[in-house]
Amino acid sequence: MEEKKFAQVVPGGVEETKLFDAALADAAPSVKQILTQVAGALKEKGYRPVDQIVGYLITGDPAYITSHKGARLLIKRIERDKILEEVLQAYLDRE
């Protein structure tokens, strides 16, 4: 995933002015993006992503999620009920 820059430096003589893009700052990663990154990190470390994520969702214990590539911090950014809601909705929306 490419890193988004929230501010950009514009040369301006002795001092530089920073431009702030509020649209980028407000664009939080989606549940799907977070789960995809977390699953990738778990897979890289040799874990079965579905089993580990289910363990986390049931217990709330972040120890089920590897800290590799910041996956543990990433998954803790969203509430577990929000993850369950979106996963269930995606499942039900399938044809």
Structural domain total, the chain:
1
57 lies in which domain range?
31-93
In a domain, 16, yes or no: no
Beta bridge partners of 88: none
Instruction: Provide the whole-model pTM.
Output: 0.71
In a domain, 20, yes or no: no
In a domain, 44, yes or no: yes
Question: Cβ contacts of residue 9 below 8 Å, gap of 6+?
Answer: 16, 17, 18
Rounded distance between C-alpha atoms, residue 93 and residue 95, angstroms? 6
For the stretch 28-75, pLDDT in tens is 789 999 999 999 999 999 999 999 999 999 999 999 999 999 999 999
In a domain, 37, yes or no: yes
Let me know if 43 is exposed, middle or buried by CB neighbors in 10 A (0-12, 13-18, 19+): middle
Sign of CA dihedral 70, 74, 53, 31: negative
Give the per-residue pLDDT at 46: 98
For the stretch 24-33, pLDDT in tens is 666 778 999 9
